[in-house]
Amino acid sequence: MGRIYLVASGKGGVGKSVFSSNLSSTYADRGVRVALVDMNVGLRNLDLYMGLESKVIFDVADVLSGVVPPRKAFVRDRRFPFLYFLATTQKKEKFTAGHDEMKRLYDYLRRSFDITIVDGPAGVNRELSLAATDVNAVVMLTTPEYVSLRDADLVEQTLRKEGALNRVYIVNKVYKDFLGNSKLPTVEMITTTMKIPLLGVIQYDDDIHLSANSGIPAILGNESYITRNFNKIADRLLMY
């Protein structure tokens, strides 16, 4: 049975979608069967980060409401042996699914793919709670800022109460020039606030930002420290 990982955060804009695109590409580069699902209902942008926007016809709301079978809605990313992408809907009112529909989709994903990465919305809402049902782990993203940490902690605790058993976190956009700056939380403060296991740390890097905006995940291309870092994160996540 395949594994499903949900990417979530407290604050918006911390890098969930860019992380999801690079993580799914890292797994797909290994030749395993990967699905990437955008559950940020109403705010579609993962298709752009993946460079797949022109291929999208159907979305996750079409699948959940039974308008199309999942295999018709997934878009193939031909840069990889086996990576399929399911876009979110831009119309929030189209998203009327409940737990049963979500469970059916997750059952299909577990049968058809080795790994599914679900890119969630920021904060807690109905779609996040639905997406968190029965996943192997939730990956919380935070940046090294007090506001981002506080919100991540809150969302993480809410998901724990809702039954998400495994929760880990990533500190993203770490500016190396700011390391040790007394105005920002230290690594110790971050680990004390987030009581769950740390999955990895990702630097702020112009290449990550520019690649995302070109529709090319940063892990593609030359072997760089970014690719190595994502591979380590991908390995650690497989423990869940």
Ligand X SMILES: Nc1ncnc2c1ncn2[C@@H]1O[C@H](COP(=O)(O)OP(=O)(O)OP(=O)(O)O)[C@@H](O)[C@H]1O
Pairing between β-strand 75-76 and β-strand 83-86 as defined by DSSP bridges: antiparallel
Q: Between residues 88 and 114, which has the closer beta carbon with respect to Mg ion?
A: 88
- The rounded distance, in Å, linking the Cα atoms of 209 and 218 is 8
State the DSSP string of 52-119.
-GGG--S-HHHHHTTSS-HHHH-EE-TTSSSEEEEPPPS-GGG----HHHHHHHHHHHHHH-SEEEEE
Residue 176 has phi, psi (to 5 degrees) of -65, -30
Which residues inside 24-53 make contact with Mg ion, applying CB under 5 A?
40
Residue pair 116/37 in contact (Cβ under 8 Å)? The answer is yes
- The rounded distance, in Å, linking the Cα atoms of 74 and 85 is 5
* List of residues 6+ apart from 199 with CB closer than 8 A: 139, 168, 169, 170, 233, 236, 237
> Which two structure tokens, joined as six digits, stand for 200?
């990895």
* CB 31, min distance to ligand X, A: 25
* CB 7, min distance to ligand X, A: 8
Binding site partner of 23, from ligand X, Mg ion, none, Cβ cut-off 5-8 A by kind: none
Residue 156's alpha-carbon distances to 54, 123, 152, 187, in angstroms, are: 34, 10, 6, 18
* CB 188, min distance to ligand X, A: 22
Which of 63, 102, 202, 233 forms a contact with ligand X (CB under 6 A)? 202
9 is a contact residue toward ligand X (CB under 6 A): yes
Binding site partner of 202, from ligand X, Mg ion, none, Cβ cut-off 5-8 A by kind: ligand X
- Tell me which DSSP letter residue 197 carries: P
* CB 157, min distance to ligand X, A: 19
Stretch that binds ligand X, among 75-83, 108-116, 159-167, 204-212 (CB under 6 A): 204-212
98 is a contact residue toward ligand X (CB under 6 A): no
212 is a contact residue toward ligand X (CB under 6 A): yes
* CB 124, min distance to ligand X, A: 13
Stretch that binds ligand X, among 12-20, 88-96, 132-140, 181-189 (CB under 6 A): 12-20
Other CB atoms within 10 A of residue 96 CB: 10
Cβ-closest position to Mg ion: 17
Q: Between residues 67 and 181, which has the closer beta carbon with respect to ligand X?
A: 181
17 is a contact residue toward Mg ion (CB under 5 A): yes
Q: Which residues bind ligand X (CB under 6 A)?
A: 9, 12-18, 40, 45, 122, 172-173, 202, 204-205, 208-209, 212
